[in-house]
């Protein structure tokens, strides 16, 4: 048994508890995040000016990228069976959620939430810790539920981070081009005196 499978069985089997059985399916279902994200988007659009609206535009660009690249491009390319599928060769897997027939690597849940979390952390530094915790819990839930290996989650987080970084740099470049900030030396230098004609 390799390290990936060892960690998988520790999370999926050894850590079993009634509380985790209840809460992990909730955390794993991204539908429950929609009301929070909708409120966040409204706040960014109406209350946070240019930064907020550009962040919403970045999210609109990022989420289809993370979802389609992970689910449509990479899963078929790698073709890795999920641990909850019999063709994976694993026994005694605790399957606590619907086991999709799509490939296991990378985890689209981890890709999507990892990308969104990093983008929000880069745009709003004070949210970084909360965003990171949410991304970790979603990724952990996929392993606990028996539908992904730890390496699937790590691969998803990595892909999401790369795509979020690219979108962040693009949006920052647009912001600096369209709404340039005054140069620091211009802000700090005293106004020039106008000499009176002699």
Cα dihedral 67, 162, 8, 1 sign: positive
Superfamily for domain range 3-177: Phosphatidic acid phosphatase type 2/haloperoxidase (1.20.144.10)
Is 179:52 a contact under the CB 8 Å cutoff? no
Q: What was the pLDDT predicted at 197?
A: 58
* Residue 92 CB contacts under 8 Å (≥ 6 apart), including other chains: 9, 13
Domain boundaries, the chain: 3-177
How do residues 62-111 score in pLDDT, each as one tens digit?
999 999 999 999 999 999 999 999 888 888 999 999 999 999 999 999 99
How do residues 154-170 score in pLDDT, each as one tens digit?
999 999 999 999 999 99
How do residues 22-75 score in pLDDT, each as one tens digit?
999 999 998 888 899 899 999 999 999 999 999 999 999 999 999 999 999 999
What average pLDDT does the structure give for the chain? 90
Percent of the chain at pLDDT above 70?
90
> What pTM was computed for the model?
0.86
């Amino acid at each position: 048994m390799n390290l990936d499978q060892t960690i998988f069985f520790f999370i999926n089997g050894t850590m079993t508890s009634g509380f985790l059985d209840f809460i992990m399916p909730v955390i794993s279902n991204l539908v429950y995040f929609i009301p929070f994200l909708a409120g966040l988007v409204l706040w960014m659009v109406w209350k946070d000016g240019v930064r907020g609206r550009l962040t919403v535009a970045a999210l609109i660009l990022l989420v289809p990228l993370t979802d389609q690249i992970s689910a449509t491009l990479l899963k078929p390319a790698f073709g890795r069976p999920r641990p909850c599928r019999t063709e994976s060769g694993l026994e005694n897997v605790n399957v606590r959620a619907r086991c999709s027939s799509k490939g296991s690597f990378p985890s689209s849940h981890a890709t999507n939430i990892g990308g969104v979390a990093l983008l929000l952390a880069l745009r709003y530094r004070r949210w970084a810790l909360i965003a990171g915790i949410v991304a970790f819990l979603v990724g952990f839930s996929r392993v606990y539920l028996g539908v992904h290996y730890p390496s699937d989650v790590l691969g998803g987080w990595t892909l999401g981070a790369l795509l979020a970084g690219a979108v962040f740099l693009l949006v920052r470049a647009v912001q600096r081009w369209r709404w340039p900030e005054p140069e620091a030396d211009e802000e700090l230098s005293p106004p020039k005196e106008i000499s009176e004609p002699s």
